[in-house]
Amino acid sequence: MILEKLETYFSAATYAQCGEFETALGIMNKKTSNRQDIKGGLKMSQGTVKKTSSAFIIPAVGFGALSLTLYALLLTNEGRIMDIFTKGGLYAALPVGTAFLFSFVHGAFASNLLSALGIEAKK
């Protein structure tokens, strides 16, 4: 009970420091009911969550495995890859395409992993 009040006071103080005085007053004046949380001065029910963290685990594991596979293939076949990439002409586009592929796969893995851990960017 005391921790909830303290959290409410700190939340209101944070909004007041940012210049959002109406939101701060709303937090101080609102009382929670029916086990709903007040976040940002608005009531948030459990149904407002778009995607659970468990929905990101399978893509994170898949993209992580694909990323490890790509790195393993690159390191075990570096001689052949170097021969192909240094032929010149249209083959010069292969290193750029490979970099985009690695970047996409690793980025998708990192994004899904962070979402599965519950870490999201500020909006």
pLDDT score at 33:
43
State pTM to two decimals.
0.57
Tell me the domain boundaries of the chain.
2-48, 53-116
- For 22-75, the DSSP string reads HHHHHHHH----TTPEEETTEEE-GGG--S-GGGGHHHHHHHHHHHHHHHHHHH
Distance separating alpha carbons of residues 5 and 68, to the nearest angstrom: 47
Averaged over successive runs of 10 residues, the pLDDT of the chain (123 residues) comes to: 73 76 78 48 48 84 97 97 95 96 96 90 76
